[in-house]
Amino acid sequence: MFGLFWSILVSEVAPPTYAGEVPRRKENQDVHLNLTVNTTLEDLAEAVAAETLSGLIAANEENRRFLIGVPAGRTLVPVFEVIEKELRARPIALDRLTIVMMDDYVLANGHGGWAAPPSTAHFSCRRFGEKLRTGLNSAVAGMPGIPESQLWSPDPVDPSAYDRRIFEAGGIDLFFVAVGASDCHVAFNPPGTAVDSRTRIIPLATTTRTDNLKTFPEFTSLEQVPTHGITVGIATLADARRLLMLAHGTSKGPAVKRLIEAGAFDSQWPATFIYDHPNASIQIDAAADSGLRIPQPV
């Protein structure tokens, strides 16, 4: 019943402005990057929510875990608003769902090491994840929800343990990836990040910190934004079985344009790692289109 419902939901979404394939500049390979430009942000959110719920329903039916990788910030808020709405209408068990946060700020602990910020801090990425967990559980009140133990965050004391934990759980089924507006950073990975990078603590690029003034508007100046973070690496992201890269709003237009025009992985534009993934799509809205037109498939 649920599978049929979500199929209907997808078919009723307004048709995108255009959908097509972006050629990848790789010798002797005929591969393409899937790009959909949705007419509105609402269309984007509904399409991504439908895919997410279909994956969760399949996991429930197969009695297995469903791990989703999640960035904190504005990009996914509309998607989870739709997911919560649909779950309130047709609740399903969420106890097989695990939320895997992709990064967080770290603060000096006074002993030469690093610690995560308090979960009550306005800039805590775990706080964002807890809001998602609470909202989803509220939507399915009376049914099994997501246990607190299934909200994961990387530990500054042992960053590499995060990749091991993900691997031992069977890997991430669906990783949502947001694109940094100014430099195409993904998670906290700055320009110049190696494609084989894993979870680690890094100094944050000024461009990333500047972008996060909008992500966390309680920051009133760049000086208030922490200088270091713990983040999954490019290889951690690439290990996911499915990647959905999302961008919406005019501020993301230049980054989307750079991403599409790159044609292949370029370490100076970290989001371009998506070109090397076998099961990846980009979903943007018309506002993020930035005038870039991909021809309709013939």
What's the pLDDT band for 295 if we cut at 50, 70, 90? Answer: very low
- The pTM (predicted TM-score) of the whole model is 0.87
Cα 228 to Cα 132: distance, rounded to the nearest angstrom: 24
Domains in the chain: boundaries: 2-12+35-287
Which whole number is the average pLDDT over 102-112? 93
Over 70: is that where the pLDDT of 4 sits?
A: no
Quick one: pLDDT at residue 35?
Answer: 93
Neighbours of 117 (CB within 10 A): 17
Measured CA to CA, the distance from residue 50 to residue 296 in angstroms comes to 23
- Quote the pLDDT of residue 290: 65
CATH number of the 2-12+35-287 domain: 3.40.50.1360
pLDDT tens profile 80-93:
999 999 999 999 99
Name the strands in the sheet holding 18-23, side by side, starting at the edge strand that comes first in the sequence: 18-23, 32-38, 280-285, 243-247, 174-178, 66-70, 97-101, 151-152
Note whether 69 and 172 are within 8 A (CB): yes
pLDDT tens-digit map of 36-66: 999 999 999 999 999 999 999 999 999 999 9
**Cα–Cα distance list, 214 to 83, 97, 203, 209, 222 (Å):** 24, 29, 19, 9, 11
- In this predicted model, which residue has the larger pLDDT, 217 or 145? 145
8 A C-beta contact, residue 282 and residue 35: yes
Which pLDDT score is estimated for 182? 82
